[in-house]
């Protein structure tokens, strides 16, 4: 079957976050999808099958299936709208996180995702030990969000990944601060999913946008994930939904030679 690699939230090739995409006529086994994700060794490989007027979408990391992934959703929408259903500008997905909609707006792909609200936590000794510095604030949703003093702190932080993988709170850990050129910046770490640092994490912004919207008193925000690759996200908070837009660039199209019965 065809296999695409797309750099999502990227202005150019080798920026943003690469995702593998397989658009299939029918489902293969969970075990085989997991093996493909491990073989691809990207942070996410997305699998989609058209069901009625929508595509059912699933995301696999090398460490297992997850319930929401923004950059792989952008990548899948890019593939469908440019290679499978040219001429339309909206694609609907069903997923473990409910209905997801991506609208193509000129060269931007806009996600319509559910807002993720966070619970504020006390900063603990373990959090300080993991980062090597003391966060200003801590929040918990699916992931642990740690607010730092400055953008420079976010760029410079070097987590202890062994300790981070054993941290009780959160599937992943993100660090964030107010930005200089952008409204806010962030980085994201997922050693529990066998990903030390994720280059650009769309789903993370479902929780970061409401946090920074409240702090900055604005609904529209421009964010930058300041990993080595880096990526820009154009965000808007609309009550129970977060709209996250970015560009996408095709890296490769290949073919997978697999036996779906194995």
Q: Which residues are catalytic?
A: 44
Can you give the length of the chain in residues?
262
For the beta carbon of residue 64, count every other beta carbon within 10 angstroms. 12
Query: 51: phi > 0 → left, psi -120 to 50 → alpha, else beta; which?
Result: beta
- What is the SS3 assignment for 255? strand
User: For residue 112, what are its two tokens?
Assistant: 């319509």
- d(CA 81, CA 154) in angstroms, rounded, equals 35
H helices, E strands: number in the chain = 6, 18
Torsion of CA 119, 122, 125, 126, to 10 degrees: -10
- What is the SS3 assignment for 78? helix
> Comparing C-alpha atoms, which of 82, 79, 75, 74 is closest to residue 102?
74
Torsion of CA 246, 154, 236, 19, to 10 degrees: 30
- d(CA 239, CA 142) in angstroms, rounded, equals 19
144's enclosing H/E stretch is strand 144-147
- Strand 54-61 and strand 98-105: the pairing is unpaired
User: For residue 117, what are its two tokens?
Assistant: 């609200």
């Amino acid at each position: 079957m065809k296999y695409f690699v797309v750099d999502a939230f990227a202005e150019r090739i080798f920026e943003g976050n690469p995702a593998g995409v397989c658009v299939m006529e029918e489902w293969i086994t969970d075990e085989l999808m997991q093996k493909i994700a491990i073989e691809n060794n990207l942070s996410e490989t997305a699998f989609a099958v058209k069901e009625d007027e929508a595509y059912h979408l699933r995301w696999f990391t090398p460490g297992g299936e997850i319930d929401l992934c923004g950059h792989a959703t952008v990548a899948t929408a890019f593939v469908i709208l440019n290679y499978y259903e040219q001429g339309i500008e909206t694609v609907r997905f069903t997923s473990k996180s409910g209905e997801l909609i991506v609208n193509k707006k000129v060269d931007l792909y806009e996600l319509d995702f559910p807002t993720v609200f966070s619970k504020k936590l006390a900063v603990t000794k373990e959090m300080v030990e993991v980062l090597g510095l003391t966060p200003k604030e801590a929040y918990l949703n699916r992931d642990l969000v740690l607010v730092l003093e400055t953008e420079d702190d976010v760029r410079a932080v070097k987590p202890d990944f062994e300790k981070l993988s054993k941290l009780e709170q959160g599937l992943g850990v993100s660090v964030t601060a107010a930005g200089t050129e952008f409204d806010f910046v962030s980085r994201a770490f997922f050693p529990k999913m066998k990903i030390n640092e994720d280059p650009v994490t769309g789903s993370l912004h479902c929780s970061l946008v409401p946090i920074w919207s409240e702090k900055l008193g604005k609904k529209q925000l421009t964010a930058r994930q300041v990993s080595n690759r880096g990526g820009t996200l154009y965000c808007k908070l609309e009550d129970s939904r977060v709209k996250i837009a970015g560009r996408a660039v095709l890296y490769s199209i290949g073919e997978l030679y697999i036996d779906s019965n194995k």
